[in-house]
Structure 1
Amino acid sequence: MILIYRWLTLWGLSLLFTFSVAYSQETRDYDELDAMDSNQEYELKTKFSQLVFFEYRGTNIFEVAGGAATLVGAPQDTDYSFYFKLGFKRSFTDNLFLGVSYNNYKLAYGTTEQSLNSFDFNLEVFVLPYEKFSPFVYGGFGYNANDDYSASAVKVQGGFGAEFIVTDKLGLKLFAEYNYSLDDEIDFLIIDQEDDSFLRVGLGVNIYFGGDNQKEKRLERIPTQIKSNPIIEN
């Protein structure tokens, strides 16, 4: 009798342990499933929200800007003069653009004002590409020349600014740019026998276009993920 009682007790404890392990495993599976579903839902919501890039902006930019330019580091008698910019940019990602631009500007020193041209190549990064307001930074190199291209110089440049989308596909921007000349072949730019630098500041517009095909491709990928990994509503 005692043996039967011990056997029943042992069997009951074993059965209880088995149910406990099974219940713990099932609970853990549900917790992992909930966590996975939450992560999938967050990822899909993020991808949907990023589509606003194609509403506010686009994959191509045509830019026009105007402002002023001045020499930097000149001892005295410098002033701000006219600056004009015309450019095109193409996106690699939503926040990274490669751009080329033509710039016409004047630098004043003393009683002399020199008209110059530059062709610039820049990489530009938007900090908040999915928002209407976004700061940006850029840098690259350029080719400087006087009006008749009898003198030229290579330069590097870097700048920063901010853009605000006033309406879909149209951004208003303000920026400042530092330029450093690597060659003093342009005689007018020689100041104190050093390679010269100048500053350009401007106000301009970005006109966006393109990106419809990329938007459609992203939309096609999102439903595929929903079908293969359905979100379970609690």
Structure 2
Amino acid sequence: MYHKFYQVILVITCVILLSGCGTYFNQPITVEQARIGEDTKFTQTLRDLPVPKEPVVVGVYKFRDQTGQYKPTEAGSTFSTAVTQGATTILVKALEDSKWFVPIERENLSNLLNERNIIRSTRKEYRKNKNTNEPQLPPLLYAGIILEGGIVSYDSNIITGGLGARYFGVGGSTQYRQDRITIYLRAVSTSNGKILKTVYVSKTILSQALDASFFRYVKFSRLLEAETGFTKNEPGQIAVSEAIEKAVESLVIEGIEDRLWSPAADQQEVNELLVDYNAEKNEAQNTGLYERYFKERRGKKSLFVNGGLALISGDYNNADLSYSARVGGKWYFNPYINANASLSKFQLRNEEAFSEGFNAIDINAELTLLPFEKLTPFFFGGFGNVNSDDFDRTFFKFQYGGGIEYLVTDQIGVAFNATHNLVLGDKLDNVSQGKRDDQYFNFSLGLNWYFKSPLKMDKELRKQKRREEKELRKLKKRNRQVIENGEVPKG
């Protein structure tokens, strides 16, 4: 038995280590040479943007770290800053990669002006000695747009957690921590000071630690101990670069949409670019802090069918599970509350003492807790009646229950639910004894089909939609009356 437990722990340890095998089997055991810096996943996206009709000359004076934070440590903090202080350089590189902007030197403008003064002074002295007429030093480019903003926040440990298992000295564990940086980037017109566009991007930084250990006395006075593991931290500079490159991409595309600048591409390519970006933007706007994606999902009406098991709790002992099937429909008042009605067919039995088929009609009010997510729990309660197959016995009942639903698509959901039925009568199983009425349970798994467009998340939008539907029904009714009276409908 102990041997089996060791096998289980060994498997868990292997799974933990292999989940990060890319790092584990690529350990730095040799001195590495300098190499060209790696690209982020948005670097190529910037390079693949359609070229502009004319690049925009921009100046970046300072894209600063505005967090004012120092790097956190287990002992508190140090005087090392939490994020890179070279964000201006990263932004200039991103602007070059996009091919939409011509960045000009503004961060160290005094150095540039000093060097130009040296050039002028040297040329002036050279002309005095040689009596030559050299051309004047060309003027500096001026920016039509200034890019401002910075890294506005660095949030540490927004999510922390881990998992581990240990049995008789054999075990493994994993820990993780997630930080988050946020940047803002805005374009300002130098002609009038108007802020043309502001974009906002956030990026998480993941740190992981995996370890496994073995500690066991293999025999008397003989101890075997082994441990291994690794820690992987996402580089902060890469995270900042990725966020800045995403901000530049957003600035370019939103500028195209607002006609601040124009691409040298056909309209179909531009439209596809805008559609993809707006879809991504809509998804981002509906995604919460911890990657919870909120979306208008379920339609106003739905049909459902499910099957499962029924179990009686009556006057006989040794109840057996039997079949249950149900079909019905739902009508949503809002994304959270709906009314539903269903017809079910099921069998109840107690081994050899009782077995009979029944039909039931249920009317329920249902509460959906997380209507804008794919996976959501729900609770319901209501009333109905149950009768035997030959309709010789009919009982009024109350029922309540709950379950969980997963949306495979916005139209189809898979749901599991359990229902407790409280029958107002004690002869459901043809026997009446004791003070308690008969009860039965249903456990079912089924499909939901949703119809019509999803209900709006915003309450005012839902009210407006209902008003529009009401006006449309009035208009149709008035047109029918006009046609019945032999008149020609107007409009």
Query: Same fold by TM (over 0.5)?
Result: yes
CA spacing shift, 1:218–1:191, aligned 2, 3 Å = same
**Counterparts of 1:8-23 in structure 2 under 5 Å?**
none
- Code of the residue aligned with 1:162 in structure 2: it is I
CA spacing shift, 1:199–1:219, aligned 2, 3 Å = closer
Deviation at 1:206, TM superposition (A): 0.8
CA spacing shift, 1:87–1:179, aligned 2, 3 Å = same
Q: Indicate the percent of aligned positions where both proteins have the same amino acid.
A: 30
Match of 1:76 in 2: 317
- Code of the residue aligned with 2:382 in structure 1: it is G
Match of 1:202 among 444, 450, 453: 444
Deviation at 1:94, TM superposition (A): 0.7
Match of 2:295 among 42, 47, 52: 52
CA spacing shift, 1:190–1:72, aligned 2, 3 Å = same
Deviation at 1:149, TM superposition (A): 1.4
The yes-or-no answer on 1:173 pairing with 2:379 is no
CA spacing shift, 1:189–1:78, aligned 2, 3 Å = same
In structure 1, runs of 5+ residues without a counterpart are: 1-44, 222-234
Q: Secondary structure at the match of 1:79?
A: coil
Deviation at 1:97, TM superposition (A): 0.6
- Code of the residue aligned with 1:136 in structure 2: it is F
Match of 2:305 in 1: 64
Match of 2:430 among 188, 203, 214: 188
The yes-or-no answer on 1:90 pairing with 2:331 is yes
How many residues in Structure 1 have an aligned counterpart in Structure 2? 173
CA spacing shift, 1:134–1:104, aligned 2, 3 Å = same
Match of 2:348 among 107, 127, 130: 107
In structure 2, runs of 5+ residues without a counterpart are: 1-281, 287-292, 465-491
CA spacing shift, 1:154–1:220, aligned 2, 3 Å = closer
Match of 2:360 in 1: 118
Q: What are the superposed Cα offsets for residues 126-184 of structure 1, whole Å, 9 maximum, x if unpaired?
A: 00000000000000001110112121000000001000001121000111110010123
CA spacing shift, 1:133–1:196, aligned 2, 3 Å = same
Deviation at 1:210, TM superposition (A): 1.6
Rg larger for: 2
- Structure 1: how far apart are the matches of 2:350 and 2:439? 13
Match of 1:138 in 2: 380
Is the Cα contact below 8 Å between 2:427 and 2:438 reproduced in 1? no
The yes-or-no answer on 1:218 pairing with 2:461 is yes
CA spacing shift, 1:186–1:74, aligned 2, 3 Å = closer
Q: CA RMSD in A?
A: 2.9
Deviates more, 1:70-79 or 1:105-114: 70-79
Deviation at 1:196, TM superposition (A): 0.6
Q: What are the superposed Cα offsets for residues 196-218 of structure 1, whole Å, 9 maximum, x if unpaired?
A: 11111000111100236979x93
Is the Cα contact below 8 Å between 2:369 and 2:378 reproduced in 1? yes
- Structure 2: how far apart are the matches of 1:136 and 1:108? 29
CA spacing shift, 1:89–1:151, aligned 2, 3 Å = same
Match of 2:267 in 1: none
CA spacing shift, 1:212–1:110, aligned 2, 3 Å = closer
Deviation at 1:73, TM superposition (A): 5.6
Higher percent of residues as strand: 1
Is the Cα contact below 8 Å between 1:179 and 1:198 reproduced in 2? yes
Is the Cα contact below 8 Å between 1:153 and 1:184 reproduced in 2? no
Deviation at 1:110, TM superposition (A): 3.3
Match of 1:156 in 2: 398
- Structure 2: how far apart are the matches of 1:133 and 1:89? 18
- Normalising by structure 1, we get a TM-score of 0.66
Is the Cα contact below 8 Å between 1:70 and 1:79 reproduced in 2? yes
Match of 2:482 in 1: none
- Structure 1: how far apart are the matches of 2:428 and 2:462? 53
